[in-house]
Structure 1
């Protein structure tokens, strides 16, 4: 697996031209689901499931654990694989690239501890319980399927 950063010019080319493989995590905890308020585009300001891109040579399950550690500060136990989701945004974090396309695989997970610590991509974490409040449509799709 490669974990070296993608140079900015290469990342711009990727975002402008191809879908990005990723994993998203429905984190079940204490009768609800853990969401993070996004600090970066796309979906800045939205309460969203943790997730991120899959690195070359990285297995999906390994990406799930890496992203849980990075974005939540905890390891997780994978309970279910929801399948593939297509996320299309009309914005991106890349200058002069006005859209972003993810091919995300959703996973249902449970944390192995309660010591959550959000990363810089999230201004806060919160637990939402059913009936779920109005959320981003992509989050609603995960919760409906989970």
Structure 2
């Protein structure tokens, strides 16, 4: 068990009372961007970006590296920081909490090594050269902000 593991009870308290600092990865390939089809709330059933929470004592850049390795099996290099975005969802992975609030930090990254593989949060992962459907509405903010995604529609 990871030293940063959070018990279900503690996670429920956090989701009920605090925004969660997270990173979302726009994994850039010459053929497009990598998206995952979510299996869990709050974006269940939508194509979304790989991402996750920043752990205590971890920088956002360290979180980018960890999440790329853990969720996708990739080693990546940060190309662009897109800044922080408020993502407030009307659903949550916690049954007793109706909403979930993220302070999500977007990063465009290039793959250094590895082949992408889906984890338990994604039923599928694919590289798209245009926006997949259904694409979660929060992703548009990242795409609009990026200066390095010149070939993205």
Q: Shorter-chain-normalised TM-score: which range?
A: over 0.9
Contact 2:73 2:114 (8 Å CA) reproduced: no
CA RMSD of aligned residues (A): 1.3
CA distance in 2, matches of 1:69, 1:114: 9
Change (3 A) 1:16 1:122: same
CA distance in 2, matches of 1:24, 1:4: 19
| Equivalent residue runs for 1:60-75 within 5 Å | 60-75=60-75
- Say if 2:4 and 2:56, in contact at 8 Å, map to a contact too: no
Q: CA deviation at 1:115?
A: 1.1
Q: Which residue in 2 is equivalent to 1:105?
A: 105
TM-score normalised over the length of structure 1: 0.93
- Kindly state the Cα deviation for residue 127 of structure 1 after the two structures are TM-superposed: 1.1
Q: Return the offset for 1:65.
A: 0.5
- Map Cα deviations across residues 48-80 of structure 1 (whole Å, 9 max, x no partner): 011100000001110000001111111101001
Aligned residue number for residue 141 of structure 2: 141
Q: Kindly report which structure 2 residues correspond to 1:1-146, keeping only aligned pairs within 5 A, or say none.
A: 3-130=3-130, 132-134=131-133, 135-146=135-146
Question: What is the CA distance between 1:114 and its match in structure 2?
Answer: 4.8
For structure 1, list consecutive stretches of 5 or more residues without a partner in the other structure: none
What is the DSSP-based 3-state SS (H/G/I as helix, E as strand, rest coil) of the residue aligned with 1:56? coil
Q: 1:144 to 1:3 in 2, by over 3 A?
A: farther
TM-score using structure 2 length: 0.89
Deviation beyond 3 Å, 4+ runs, structure 1: none
8 A Cα contact 2:39 2:121, kept in partner: yes
**2:4·2:55 contact (CA, 8 Å) conserved in 1?**
no
- The 3 A distance-change label for structure 1 pair 114 and 6 is closer
Aligned residues: 144
Shift of 1:4: 2.9
**Partner of 1:112: helix, strand, or coil?**
strand
